[in-house]
Every structure is written in C-alpha cells, then in structure tokens.
Amino acid sequence: MEAGGTMEVAALGRPFCLGMLYDCRRDLLVPGLTLWDHEDLKNNIREKPQNYSDFEIIASESIEDKSQALKVEASLKASFLSGLVEVGGSAKYLNDKKASKDQARVTLQYKATTKFQELSMYHLGRGNVKHPYVFDKGIATHVVTAITYGAQAFFVFDRSVSEKEDHQDIQGNLKVMIKKIPGLAIEGEGSLNMEDKDIANVKEFSCRFHGDFSLQKPPSSFQDAVEVYQNLPTLMGVHGENTVPMRVWLLPLTVLDSTAAHLIRQISIRLVQGVQRVLEDFIQEVLKSSLGQNPAEKQNKQRERGENLTSLWKVLFFHYRFDFFWSGLTLWDHEDLKNNIREKPQNYSDFEIIASESIEDKSQALKVEASLKASFLSGLVEVGGSAKYLNDKKASKDQARVTLQYKATTKFQELSMYHLGRGNVKHPYVFDKGIATHVVTAITYGAQAFFVFDRSVSEKEDHQDIQGNLKVMIKKIPGLAIEGEGSLNMEDKDIANVKEFSCRFHGDFSLQKPPSSFQDAVEVYQNLPTLMGVHGENTVPMRVWLLPLTVLDSTAAHLIRQISIRLVQGVQRVLEDFSELEMRYSDALRTATAHQFPQVGKKLKSFKQMCLLFKLEFQQNLAKKLQSIRGGGEEEAALAEILMKKQSSPFNSENLNVWMDCKEREISILKSFTNMMKNTKIIPSQNGLHEETLSAEHAVCFIFTSLGSAEPYLSALSNYLKVSIKPDDPQDPHAHDVEKEQWYLSKQVFDTLREKAKLFSDFAEANKENKKIKFLTVGLTNDTHKGSSIYLYKDGSSLSENFEPPSKPETVTVSDINHNSVTLKITPPGCGAENITSYSVEYSVSGKDGWQQKTASDAEVTVSGLSPNTKYVFRCRAVTSVGVGPVNQVNESVKTLSCSPPGKPQVEPTSSDISVSWQRPAEPGQDVQILSYIVEYAQTDEGGDLQWNQTMSRAEKVIVSGLQSESEYVVRVMCDCGAAGRSKHSITVTVCTTKVSPLTEFLKRKSKKMISESPSVYKLPLTEDDVGAIGCRRLNFGKESARKNRTIVLVGVSGSQKSTLIDGMINYIVGVEWKDNFRFTLFDERKASVSTVYRINHQEGFKIDYSLTIVDTGDDGGSENFSESHRTSHFNPSINEYVKEVDALCFVVPAPLERLTETQKHLFYSLTKSFSKDVSENIRVLVTSADGGRPPVLRAISAGDVRCPKAEDGLPLHFKFNNSALFAHNKPSAAESTSEDGEEENYDQMFWNMGSKSMKMFFVKE
C-alpha cells in the first residue's frame, strides 16, 4: 500500500456520498463540507453496473468472523470496537450477540451489488478545488472518490438448547435447515414446501433481521425469513434506487495538497487482534454470568459491559494510516476517450472441469500471471465477480469438491494511439505525482462463472470415489436440460445422487437468486449466455492490456523490477500450507470432541488465532516488500529473507503440521475412549460436573487430567508474535520437539489411560440399570495423576480422586456339580480388589432369558435350587459399595447331574456275598430314564487307596458275590442314565462279610423235624401271604433277596410225583447231599390239591445264584371225566399276579407212560393258552420214575402233538428224575446190611446222582 494511494473501507451503514470529506484519524464523516460545489460533482460522476448477489452461512459468533462477513479491515475494526464508529443497517449485525450460552445460533447473509460510481479526475489538483480552506483547517484526511452500491441482510436464527439436548447436534441441525432457505418456496396459503418433520423442526427457530432494506415487518420466524429472503431483490428497486453504499474508496487529501492533514501511523494487526481477544473474553464472561439471570439483569450487565469496553479502547487506540491502489484517475477526459476507442467482436465460450483446490490451478483458470498473483496473495488486490473464486476455499477435508468453469468473451476494445504523447495528455500532473505506472489501453470483455460443487464425505466413504463421482456428474451439466415441471432429464439414481451436492456461485452475472443445488446450477448454466445481454451490454472486463506511462513521459513512475516466479511460488506454498492448516484446525474445532473437552478447543482456537495473525502479518510484510522491490527501494533478496525468516521461526510448516497431527491424534484418542464409555455423559466444564454429582447418590467420573497441560510450543508461537523481530535479528536455534510435549505419547501414561478407561467402561456398562449411579467424563487438570484418573463422589462430595473399579474376576471355575447345585470357585479380580465387599453369581437356564442371583462373601459359592439334567450358564462379578463390576462368564454351559443320588444302600452280608438294595433317586430329571445302577465296592483292609470294583443292576438291588469272608467292604451306588450321564454316588456304607457256615445246618436248626428215622425229614419254615383267593396260596422261604428271580410252573396229573419232585428241587438247591442223614420238604399233604406259589428267596449256600419261584398247579386229577372248567380253574388270575414272566413251563410225567390221557392233553393245551405270549419254547418235560433207559413217555408226548422244544434226536427236550432215592435210607445199620440191601442202596445212590445231574442241568440252563 503505497503512500498517497486510495483506501477501500466498508460503509457500515453510514451515509457516504461522492466528494464527502472523511477523517481517518477518528473514522468520522465530515458532512456539509466539500472541496467542490454540488454541480461540479454531479457533472463529473461516472457510473457502471456491477450486478452481483450471493449468500453465506455463518455459524460463528466471533468478532473476527463477523468483521470478515462485512469486510471490515483491521483499522476500521479497531474504531468500531472502541466506539468511534456507530454502525447502521446491515452492519448492526456486528452488535448482535447471543444472550445465553444455552442458545444455538446460525446466520444467513445475503449480499448484492448493483452499480459502481466514481469521480472523474480532471478537476483534481489544488487549482481546481473550490474550497481549499479545508486543507488549512485539518478537519479531514480523505475525500470519497468512489462508491459501490448494493444491499446486505443478515437473518440471525436462534434456537434454545435444553440441558438434555446436545448443543452441537442442535447447531448442526440449525445449519442444515438454514442452508435450504435460498431454494425454498412459499406455496398456496403461505405454507412451506417442506416435509412435516422439517416444518415442526423450524417452528422452534426464532429470527432477528439486520439489513439495508425497508421492511413493513421484520421477520421473527423461519417462514417469515423465507418470505423476506425471496423479496430482497425486488426491495432494492427496479433500477437499484433503494440501494446503499457498501464499499467506499477514500483519496488522501495529501494527493491534492501536501499540507493537508494525514494519518501518521497505523495500528498493527497483532495489537488489534489482541484487543479483540480481550473483548471476546468479556463477552464470554457476561454470557456465563447471565446463566440463571432474569432479562432485566441481563440488560444491565450488557450496558455495563459496553461502558467498560468503550473506556478500554479510549486508552489503547491512536491515529493510523493504510494504503490502497488508485481508483478513478485518468490522463484524458471522458469525451476524448469515448471518441478514440476501436471495438471488434470476439465471440467465444467454453467450459472446464476443475478438480483441484490449489492456488496455482485456480490462478491458471483465471489466467493470473505471477506478478498479479503475488499482489493478490499479499492482499494488495481485492478481487470481485468471478475472481472471488480465488478466495473460495474448502471448509473441511471431509469435503469433495469439483468446480465447473464457464467462460465467454464478446468484444475487444482498444484506444487509438494518435492522442498518445505528453502533449495530448489533459492531466499531466499524474506524471508529476508518481501515483501510477501504467495506463489501460485495451480490454477484452466477457464473463466468467464458477459453479463450486461440494459433497460431504462420511468416514465410511472413500474420498477419491466420491470425488470421481462428483466429477462425472458435473461433466454432464452442459448437456442437461430441464423438462416439464422443472425436473432434470436424468435417471432416478443420478437424481438421488446429485441431491447430496451443494453449490456456490462466483460469477460476473447478475442473478436474482444464486444457485444452491445441482438443479439450480443447471438452470443458471443454461441461462448464462442470455444474462450477458443481447449486445453484450452486461459483460465485464476479463483481460486488460497496460501501457507503461514511461512510453508517454520518461519522468513517469515505473516498475523497477518484477518478482521472480521462484519467490512467488515460495509465497504461494506458504499460503497454501496455511490454507491446508486452516481446514485441519477448522475440522478439529467442529468435532464433538473439541466441544466436549474445552481444553482441546481452547488450544485449537489459540493456535488458530496465532496462525491467522501470523498469516496477516506475513501478508502485510509481503505487501510492503512487493511495493518496495517493484519501486526499486529494495532488492528481491528482501522477499527471500521473509520466506527464510518464516521457515526458521516457530511458524515453519513442519512444526505447525506436526502440532496439528498431534491434536488430531489427541482428538482421535479421546473420541475412541469416549465412544468406548457407554452409559456415560460427557461434561464440558467443572461447574457442570458439580451439578451432576449433586443430583446422584454416587457419581463415578473419568477424568482426562492432562488436556489442559502447558505446551511450550504454543508458548513459543505466542512469544514470537509478541516480540517484533527484525530480519537480521538472531533466531532461536532450538528446534521444537512438538511430539515430546504431548502427554499421550508417554507409553506409561497411555497404558495407564487405556487400563483405567477399560475399567471405567466395564464398570459403567455393568451398572447401566442402576439409576443411583451416574457415570461422567470430563477434562480437569490434575498433575498428580498424569493422563487420567477416576474420581468417586457421593452426594456431591468427593470420596476419592483415584478410585479403582473392580475388573472382572480373573477366573471362575466349576469345582463341583450336583443334580440341584453347582459350586463355583472364584479368583479375585486383578484390579480394584480392595474395594470388593462380596461376589454376585448370576445364573440362567441356557437359552432362556432371565437371570437369578446369589450373593456370597467368600470366593467359593454354591448355587442351590437348580433343576436336575438342565444346562445352566453362570457368570460372576465383584460387588463394591458403589456398584457391581463386569462379569466373567463360565466359558461353557454347565449341566446339572441327571438325577439325585440313589438312596442310602441297605446291605445284608453273608460270608461271600453282600445283598445291596436302595431307593430310587428322589429327584429324577425331566425326561431322564435310569438305564441301570452302578454298584461300586471295595475292600478296606487291603491298605493304600481303595480299589473300586463295579457291578451293574437294572433293579434297585444287587448281590455282590465272590467276596472274602470276615472282611470289611465299602459300598456305594450311582445311576447310569445313558446320554443324560451319571448321578453322584450315594452315601457310602461300610459292611463286614460273615464267617462261613453250612446252610443245611442252619436250616436244620430253623426247621421242624417231621420224621426221625434216617434220613430225618425236616419241614422247612415257610411264611404265607394272604392272596385273598380260594384255591390259591403263596408261600415264602427265606428273606427277600436282591438276587434276580426265575419262575417255573409245574403241571402234572395225580400220580406224576410232582410234589416229591419239588422236594427234590429244594434239597438240591440248599445243598443236601446223598451222604447227609437228613432231608427237607416243602410239601404239605393236607393242601396238595391247592395251587401253590413257592417263593424260594436266595440265601448264602444255594447251589443256584438266583431266587426261584415254583408254581405248583396242584393235583389235576387223573379221571377221564376231568371237566373243562376244572382244567382251567387251577391256574387262575390270582396266580397271574405273582407270575409275571415264566422261564419254564414244566410238564411232569412218569417215565413208563406209553400214551397221554385226554386229561393230560387238555391240561397241556389249556395251560399254554393261559399265558399272554407263546411259551412253547419254554416248555420242558420233567420225567419221574426214570431209570437209565429212554423213557417211553417221550414217544407218547410226540404222538400227542404237544408243542415243545426238541432235542437233537427229535424227542422232546427232557430231564430225568427218580424220586425214589430222595427219602431212601442212605446209611443202613450193620444188622440190616445185606447184599441185597447194598445193591438196592447202590441203585438209590445212582438214582440220586442221576437226579442231581439233571437238576444241575435244568437250573443252569434255566
């Protein structure tokens, strides 16, 4: 900004007009005083159209962002903040501040320009000034020489945010809805063309309006705002008659008279930024203090704040000066120029797709050469129209962007050269003043437009894919058409796709409404050729040819040297690095994490402010150097030194980007950990933490303790800005290790953070149903616990600043399983064990919902009351006075045993056997079948470990045989339930086998002696059951035994010796031998005709290993007149109750019988039909009175067609007995012993042996 140049400032609603005086020292208009008469001014005003409109969304409340929206530069901003400038119209937006922090705010800015007016310069110079006393009075420093007219409006939308709502979510929703306004329409009956849910949403928005428009009623709602927005272009007037000054160009009075008052010095941007931060801090404090105040209190606070700020600025601000390029100066009169212009058509149009955001590619699109680019980058050039595309930068890295450029030219104009030369110049003082170096001699007219399309890219989407898709769709625009009802001639999937695109427009065209969507862009694109006018009257200069003034006059100012492309590229890289950095810290500031943890946001904001301030000072220094180098005041090395100084400063790109890397990583870490913390509320402030802890019985709070820790690098940036360093000052050689300053890069700190976060997260999840506990997360500085800690509160009071919640138990193992209980062994948790008061075991039937709980203080817990043969899942957690810890679930389901153990075994020992019996399990599982019992026994007196033996039984009794006499044994029983598994063992009982004693001797003592002769005959003791049936009885021999039982039925007519055969059987079974001088009998002669069931219970000493049931059908008579009823009466249903299964149906017949009687035949037939199943295979023939030969009766049986098994010789299967030997004398006296008697004794013993052999064969087979 060269001394003597014009200065461009924002009008801010002040009543500027051409020729008006202005005092830049006080930023004060001087009305009523002018340098020229009104008529002179009126006749020397040039005007040209400048049609432009656009809109912006502003989601910030900072003074900086509001100033940028109104294009208020630093010096004017300082005057506004100090109270020197009173703003009006749309500029009142600067004074609109939120009343509460519980308020989401988004602003929609509309801006439009219509025309540009400037004074022609022929009357400039002290000689042409009508009122020169102005210079002598020193009452002004500048005069208004040019004005851009237009209008602006700010729609400020607010939405209250309740405690339960997320401020960032509401702010985002507000922004989405406001963006829709430019594309909305009011339908019939004044309704919005929006979905019902959106209409309900916007009803919660309030609206305040600040604008340069005259409204009958300012908008107060969203719908009002839409209606007003649509009417704004109309409100400016058909010819722009209702517009106001927006930008003003001020000419220093020293250009006209060197004695005029002028600006001595300007205030540095750095100091203005510093004061701005002070004021913003005041605003934040007022907002905090307004929480809970009534409206009157808030108003008083705001008035007090304004007075304090005004007095503050009166102390800090002084006079200042700022330079810009000239505007409105010419060498010739307007009429001369008009008569010496040549024009020729130059019709051309084209479009380009731009997928890059670099300054280089944008400059190439606008054909900006290096020198002009340097001026633009330094801020010397302020662009307009389509060139504003140069300033359009992506707001976020999560944004895909493709730009469609439309460019067209219509004509070329140039000056004819006959009037060139100093003699033909009407205003030669321009050469003397040295205020310009070139004059415009040719212009190409046309227009350009840039449609900037953006599409948000989510984390799950691929940025490159979205960018490619965006590019494909934008390429289609020049060929698209709008069909009936305004619909695009595109496929449905493409229409759905482009609805996600937003559009911003930068162009040299006057639009009633700028496009905001893809469809809007297509409509505008189609109309661009028409908007340039039929004769190109609405076009603007696109390319300009400049003639050096030295061609006209060698004394004129001229460009000494240009800036090399290499240095321009260096500057470009610096600014592109800052642009990239701006996106990154803007993205970071927009994250929920930066809002949730203000310490992070505060550092980012501080970093942002310092970067912006450094960038502004860098551009300011760059501008000065550019002008000085171009004017020959300095060498190009001065610019290179600025770049080197920047690189050697803390603001070098590497350090800045490393710091941003660290902050992004920190945000990512915080996001990762907070996402892990379910059932947890994030509190952004310590005051909020106090409120939350007071409203809960217990509050467990995870504290990030190092977020606010000091970072030397930020201090280095701040110190660098505070100290004015000259280029030749020595720089701090220390390289900043930015990463080393980050708390989370300590392995120990991070590992501890991860461990504590896991403990906290698991504890919160475990207690999510407990409404008495609150789980919170907040950032608070605590140097004692680096990185993180867990605070515990009770009723708002702090109990611990290093609380350790319990982790899950290390292991939970099953130590015992029963049919109705499971015992678990718990290993205490590795963390938080000191806070454990008990353990909670939870269990549930596998596959079903609903958990039951058992609490125990010991590390071994037995869970009772379970169902047999059922799968359960178990989990266990530690219990503290605050809540419960996370669960450790037993890996696999646990199945209870199929049934309870059998009852306690009852034992009856003999010398070699133990009879064991027991009760069935009292608690069998559902659908469980006991297939068998496993009886285990072991001898205890063998020493060492017990050697268990097993035997199986299907019934609830068993005989354990083969034991040693007079020995101690232990016996236990368990159930075998097949696939359902086995039960637990029963109670183990101890038993001793008895001393060996012959059974026959025992029976003799118990029996009644019937015959004293040799052999003596003893009647065995029998007990009789009352069967309640006539003609049938049941007799029992011995105690009931656990041995298995077999049943035989003996059938025979009178004379078949059936009763004697039964006596022979019992003598064989109890072990009577031929040599014994005693015999036993069962038979009772008085009841021989009655059907009798003998139950021979097994006893120790039996020659068979089972109990035996003998069914004696009684004497069936031998008469041929044996009636049918008599044949069947002896085997009646009463006997059937005791005869469940017949092992042998025995027909007793005498050996000599050569044919069967009819009675015998019918008896055999009827008895076989009396059983429920075919017993023919179980029929046995017992032959009595047999000798050594083949009994004749066998042929008779075969001839009688009696169905029975056959032997190999084809005869019925039979066993031979001779009952004559049973009670025969076996030891005759010497006197009676004769040879004949001896021979007879030999026959009796032979018959005895034959019978014993047959008995053995019969009972073994059966």
Q: What is the pLDDT of residues 189-242, one digit of tens each?
A: 667 778 888 888 888 899 999 999 988 888 989 988 999 998 999 999 988 899
CA distances from 620 to 322, 624, 649, 714 (A): 11, 6, 17, 23
pLDDT exceeds 60 at position 726: no
- Among 447, 448, 445, which Cα is nearest to 343's? 445
Question: Tokens standing for 1131?
Answer: 């085997």
Report the percentage of the chain scoring pLDDT > 90.
33
pLDDT band of residue 276 (cuts 50, 70, 90) is: low
- Cα–Cα distance measured from residue 413 to residue 67, given in angstroms and rounded to the nearest whole number: 38
pLDDT exceeds 90 at position 977: yes
Place of tokens 């901003």: 77
- Cα–Cα distance measured from residue 826 to residue 585, given in angstroms and rounded to the nearest whole number: 51
pLDDT exceeds 90 at position 868: yes
pLDDT exceeds 60 at position 3: no
- Cα–Cα distance measured from residue 1202 to residue 1146, given in angstroms and rounded to the nearest whole number: 12
Maximum average pLDDT range among 184-188, 262-266, 997-1001 = 997-1001
Mean pLDDT, range 1167-1173, rounded to an integer: 66
CA distances from 720 to 10, 275, 623, 713 (A): 31, 18, 21, 10
pLDDT band of residue 1088 (cuts 50, 70, 90) is: low
pLDDT exceeds 50 at position 321: no
Instruction: Evaluate whether 7 touches 76 at the Cβ level (below 8 Å).
Output: no
pLDDT band of residue 704 (cuts 50, 70, 90) is: very high
Instruction: Evaluate whether 698 touches 773 at the Cβ level (below 8 Å).
Output: yes
- Cα–Cα distance measured from residue 1115 to residue 48, given in angstroms and rounded to the nearest whole number: 149
Residue 458's contacts (CB-CB under 8 Å, 6 or more residues apart) are 398
pLDDT exceeds 80 at position 1079: yes
Strand (E) or helix (H) holding 497: helix 492-498
Cα torsion 1007, 1010, 1011, 1016 to 10°: value is: -20
pLDDT exceeds 70 at position 1125: no
Give the distance, in angstroms, between the CA of residue 804 and the centroid of all CA atoms in the same chain: 25
pLDDT exceeds 60 at position 1127: no
User: Coil, strand or helix: which one is 246?
Assistant: strand
pLDDT exceeds 50 at position 304: no
Mean pLDDT, range 15-40, rounded to an integer: 82
DSSP for 612-630?
Answer: HHHHHHHHHHHHHHHHHHH
CATH number of 815-891: 2.60.40.10
Place of tokens 């039979």: 1214
- Cα–Cα distance measured from residue 628 to residue 630, given in angstroms and rounded to the nearest whole number: 6
pLDDT band of residue 319 (cuts 50, 70, 90) is: very low
Give the distance, in angstroms, between the CA of residue 261 and the centroid of all CA atoms in the same chain: 69
Domain 1013-1261 has CATH 3.40.50.300: yes
pLDDT exceeds 90 at position 29: no
- Cα–Cα distance measured from residue 452 to residue 83, given in angstroms and rounded to the nearest whole number: 39
pLDDT of residue 727: 43
List residues bridging with 1050 in a β-sheet: 1112, 1146
- Cα–Cα distance measured from residue 120 to residue 908, given in angstroms and rounded to the nearest whole number: 138
pLDDT of residue 594: 92
> Residue 718 gets which letter from DSSP?
H
Strand (E) or helix (H) holding 502: strand 502-507
- pLDDT tens by residue, 31-41: 766 788 777 77
pLDDT exceeds 50 at position 314: no
DSSP for 958-994?
Answer: EEE-SPPTT-EEEEEEEEE-GGG-B------EEEE--
- pLDDT tens by residue, 563-592: 788 888 888 898 888 889 998 989 999 899
- pLDDT tens by residue, 781-836: 999 999 999 999 999 999 999 999 999 999 999 999 999 999 999 999 999 989 99
- Among 42, 230, 66, which Cα is nearest to 119's? 42
pLDDT band of residue 288 (cuts 50, 70, 90) is: low
- Cα–Cα distance measured from residue 534 to residue 555, given in angstroms and rounded to the nearest whole number: 44
Residue 135's contacts (CB-CB under 8 Å, 6 or more residues apart) are 126, 129, 253, 256, 257, 259, 260, 261
Q: Where are the domains of the chain?
A: 7-316, 335-357+394-559, 595-800, 815-891, 906-992, 1013-1261
pLDDT exceeds 60 at position 298: no
Mean pLDDT in the chain? 83
Listed range (337-346, 490-499, 1126-1135) with the worst mean pLDDT: 1126-1135
pLDDT of residue 301: 45
> Residue 564 gets which letter from DSSP?
P
Give the distance, in angstroms, between the CA of residue 624 and the centroid of all CA atoms in the same chain: 55
pLDDT of residue 121: 60
- Cα–Cα distance measured from residue 1132 to residue 1164, given in angstroms and rounded to the nearest whole number: 15
pLDDT band of residue 1123 (cuts 50, 70, 90) is: very low
- Cα–Cα distance measured from residue 553 to residue 279, given in angstroms and rounded to the nearest whole number: 52
Mean pLDDT, range 966-972, rounded to an integer: 93
Maximum average pLDDT range among 422-436, 721-735, 840-854 = 840-854
Question: Tokens standing for 512?
Answer: 């009633």
Give the fold, CATH level 3, of 906-992.
Immunoglobulin-like (2.60.40)
Give the pairing of strands 1091-1096 and 1032-1037: parallel
Q: For residues 123 and 53, which has the higher predicted lDDT (pLDDT)?
A: 53
Place of tokens 């009766």: 1193
Mean pLDDT, range 733-738, rounded to an integer: 66
Listed range (29-43, 601-615, 942-956) with the worst mean pLDDT: 29-43
Question: Tokens standing for 711?
Answer: 């970072």
List residues bridging with 8 in a β-sheet: 249
pLDDT of residue 313: 29
pLDDT of residue 991: 94
Question: Is the previous residue joined to 1015 through a cis bond, with omega within 30 degrees of 0?
Answer: yes
For residue 1145, which phi and psi values (nearest 5 degrees)?
-105, 105
DSSP for 839-905?
Answer: EEEEEEETT----EEEEESSSEEEE-SPPTT-EEEEEEEEEESS-B---EE-SS-EEPPSBPPPPPP
pLDDT of residue 682: 93
Indicate the residue type of 1076. D
pLDDT of residue 26: 83
pLDDT of residue 484: 56
Question: Tokens standing for 760?
Answer: 């906290």
Residue 671's contacts (CB-CB under 8 Å, 6 or more residues apart) are 591, 592, 593
Instruction: Evaluate whether 1170 touches 1142 at the Cβ level (below 8 Å).
Output: no
Residue 578's contacts (CB-CB under 8 Å, 6 or more residues apart) are 611, 615
- Compute the chain's Rg from CA coordinates: 59
- Among 443, 496, 498, 489, which Cα is nearest to 470's? 498
- Cα–Cα distance measured from residue 646 to residue 625, given in angstroms and rounded to the nearest whole number: 15
Q: For residues 682 and 198, which has the higher predicted lDDT (pLDDT)?
A: 682
- pLDDT tens by residue, 1212-1256: 888 988 888 888 887 654 444 555 555 666 788 888 998 889 899
- pLDDT tens by residue, 878-920: 999 999 999 998 888 999 999 999 999 999 888 888 889 999 9
- pLDDT tens by residue, 351-384: 889 988 888 888 888 888 888 877 788 877 888 8
Instruction: Evaluate whether 99 touches 290 at the Cβ level (below 8 Å).
Output: yes
- Cα–Cα distance measured from residue 632 to residue 4, given in angstroms and rounded to the nearest whole number: 18
- Cα–Cα distance measured from residue 258 to residue 978, given in angstroms and rounded to the nearest whole number: 118
DSSP for 286-338?
Answer: HHHHTTT--HHHHHHHHHHHHHHHHHHHHHH-----------S--SS-HHHHH
Q: For residues 817 and 417, which has the higher predicted lDDT (pLDDT)?
A: 817
pLDDT exceeds 90 at position 759: yes
- Cα–Cα distance measured from residue 1061 to residue 467, given in angstroms and rounded to the nearest whole number: 111
pLDDT exceeds 80 at position 329: no
In this chain, the answer to whether the domains covering 815-891 and 906-992 adopt an identical fold is yes
Question: Tokens standing for 1179?
Answer: 């029929």
pLDDT exceeds 50 at position 69: yes
Mean pLDDT, range 656-664, rounded to an integer: 93
How many CB atoms are located within 10 Å of the residue 615 CB?
A: 19
Strand (E) or helix (H) holding 41: helix 38-43
pLDDT band of residue 840 (cuts 50, 70, 90) is: very high
Mean pLDDT, range 943-970, rounded to an integer: 89
Instruction: Evaluate whether 1183 touches 1214 at the Cβ level (below 8 Å).
Output: yes
pLDDT exceeds 80 at position 694: yes
How many CB atoms are located within 10 Å of the residue 900 CB?
A: 20
- Among 598, 750, 760, which Cα is nearest to 678's? 760
CA distances from 531 to 409, 434, 446, 483, 524 (A): 13, 40, 11, 21, 9
pLDDT band of residue 11 (cuts 50, 70, 90) is: very high
pLDDT of residue 290: 54
> Residue 1250 gets which letter from DSSP?
H
- Cα–Cα distance measured from residue 882 to residue 195, given in angstroms and rounded to the nearest whole number: 48
pLDDT exceeds 50 at position 252: yes
